[in-house]
Amino acid sequence: MDSIFLGEGRSIGGFLRERWIDMCDGLGLPRSVSEPVTDQVRDLLRPWADLPVGQESPFPSYVADDGFPAEMSVKWSRGRPELRILFETLGASRPITAVSNQTAAVALTDRLAAEPTVGLDRYGKVADVFMPDTGQAAVPVPVWHSLAWRPGRPPAFKIYFGLYAVPLHERHALVGEAMERLAMGSAWADVRARVAQAAQADGVERELEFFALDLDSSARSRAKVYYRNHTSSVAVLEQMASLARAHEPHRARSAFRALLGTAPDAAGETPLTCLAFRPGAPRADESTTYFRVSSFTTSDAEAAVRIGALMAHEGIDPQRHHALLDAVAPRPLSRSRGLQELVSYRSLGHEGDVCVYFRFPIYPQPSPQPCPPPRPLRTALQEDAHR
């Protein structure tokens, strides 16, 4: 996708501050309400955010296709907006390395302990699973953070471990160990077995890609796993969502159709499934499905129409999303694609929520590379299916 934004003469932090202010303005938030959190976001990104945007990413982050290390999103739940930023902390070494990024991320996590809503007990139980002592891991696991803010409440935080950097055969072992330490081993075993059985039946790879934690100490605090589904089949997404206790299949199917239409293979490129786990539950508690909306629309204008239809399905006024786009988009929506990169839907019984993920394409992107040949899956799938 082409670059949409210009970053010349800006620091990364300055650029993100402008985007955050635009998002707050688009949500109709008074500056007196938004400015304290705007300042907090700025402080979280320091010192690496003082780096200039430049002509190419100072470190090719997996957060965005062009390597930019951050995205923002807005979640609509019962019509109330929650503004979020997800980012990969960049390290102090020059050149920046994966090792220095992880070191900086650990330091940021330690800083977050001073936040009133943050608890690091569960993080402390699993940190060494994903970040063993120096020298034990061939490639450092990337660590990301997110801040989520609903006006009237203090921000909440999450931490993400990028399993995409780990060889496929090691990922399940890492997550299994972490889930055992968090007293969620039975629920994880249930999910792993059912995912393997489904993949053996239909031949579709469900790639384990992230592990995440809410950084709080409440009884409702979640561990989350993310799968990248190597298919555009809506039926596969429905199967993955059905692994969660709170999933309501008829409502979710209706929501998917509002966004996608009725074609069976309308889900676009590599949609994602997130399964959330809570202590003591025998199975996954919630599921969220992420659609790469830029992969099945020709412009941000079309994406906005599709997202608006999903919002209307959930009783949310689509004009609120359009007002947000008016504040954020640097050019007419008919002349861009990729500002609205993902849209997610979470089924919660008789209600659901919608989240739109905004990317800020700023760097030239390389030409698409030929797809690699499919990985041989059957042996591994059969192994898992019989565990």
DSSP track, 91-153: PSSSS--HHHHHHHHHHHHHHHTTSTT---HHHHHHHHHHSPSTTS-SSPPPEEEEEEE-TTS
Contact between 348 and 313 (Cβ < 8 Å)? no
The string of pLDDT tens digits covering residues 299-353 is 999 999 999 999 999 999 999 999 999 999 999 999 999 999 999 999 887 788 9
Contact between 40 and 335 (Cβ < 8 Å)? no
Residue type, 123: Y
Q: How confident is the model at residue 1 (pLDDT cuts 50, 70, 90)?
A: low
Contact between 294 and 338 (Cβ < 8 Å)? yes
Rounded distance between C-alpha atoms, residue 146 and residue 166, angstroms: 21
Q: How confident is the model at residue 22 (pLDDT cuts 50, 70, 90)?
A: very high
- Kindly report the number of other CB atoms within 10 A of residue 35's CB atom: 13
Q: How confident is the model at residue 135 (pLDDT cuts 50, 70, 90)?
A: low
The label of the residue with tokens 């650990």 reads 106
236 pLDDT higher than 70: yes
3-class secondary-structure state, position 80: strand
* Mean of pLDDT values over 267-277: 98
Between residues 118 and 378, the one the model is more confident about: 118
Rounded distance between C-alpha atoms, residue 363 and residue 247, angstroms: 38
Q: How confident is the model at residue 387 (pLDDT cuts 50, 70, 90)?
A: very low
**β-strand partners of 161:** 143, 211
Please give the C-alpha separations between residue 97 and each of 94, 100, 107, in angstroms, as whole numbers.
8, 5, 16
| % of the chain beyond a pLDDT of 70 | 93
27 pLDDT higher than 80: yes
The string of pLDDT tens digits covering residues 171-196 is 999 999 999 999 999 999 999 999 99
Per-residue model confidence (pLDDT) at position 107: 98
Rounded distance between C-alpha atoms, residue 231 and residue 364, angstroms: 27
Rounded distance between C-alpha atoms, residue 99 and residue 93, angstroms: 9
The string of pLDDT tens digits covering residues 116-129 is 999 999 999 999 99
Please state, rounded to an integer, the average pLDDT across all residues of the chain.
93
Contact between 358 and 321 (Cβ < 8 Å)? no
- Among 198, 232, 226, 195, smallest CA distance to 213 is for 226
63 pLDDT higher than 80: yes
Contact between 356 and 307 (Cβ < 8 Å)? yes
377 pLDDT higher than 70: no
CA geometry: angle 162, 325, 40, nearest 5 deg: 55
386 pLDDT higher than 50: no
Q: What are phi and psi of 365, to 5 degrees?
A: -105, 145
pTM of the model: 0.93
| Helices of type H across the chain | 12-26, 31-45, 98-112, 121-130, 168-181, 185-202, 234-241, 249-260, 300-313, 318-328, 378-385
| % of the chain beyond a pLDDT of 90 | 88
Of the ranges 127-141, 313-327, 360-374, which one carries the lowest mean pLDDT score? 360-374
210 pLDDT higher than 60: yes
Per-residue model confidence (pLDDT) at position 155: 98
Q: How confident is the model at residue 365 (pLDDT cuts 50, 70, 90)?
A: confident
369 pLDDT higher than 60: no
Q: How many residues does the chain have?
A: 387
- Chain centroid to Cα 261, Å, comes to 24
Q: How confident is the model at residue 262 (pLDDT cuts 50, 70, 90)?
A: very high
Reply yes or no: is the peptide bond before residue 47 cis, omega within 30 of 0: yes
* DSSP code at position 52: B
The domain segmentation of the chain, as residue ranges, is 12-363+377-385
Reply yes or no: is the peptide bond before residue 373 cis, omega within 30 of 0: no
Per-residue model confidence (pLDDT) at position 366: 61
**β-strand partners of 344:** 290, 355
Per-residue model confidence (pLDDT) at position 139: 85
* Mean of pLDDT values over 284-307: 98
Residue type, 103: T
How would DSSP label each residue in 227-250? EEESS--HHHHHHHHTTSTT--HH
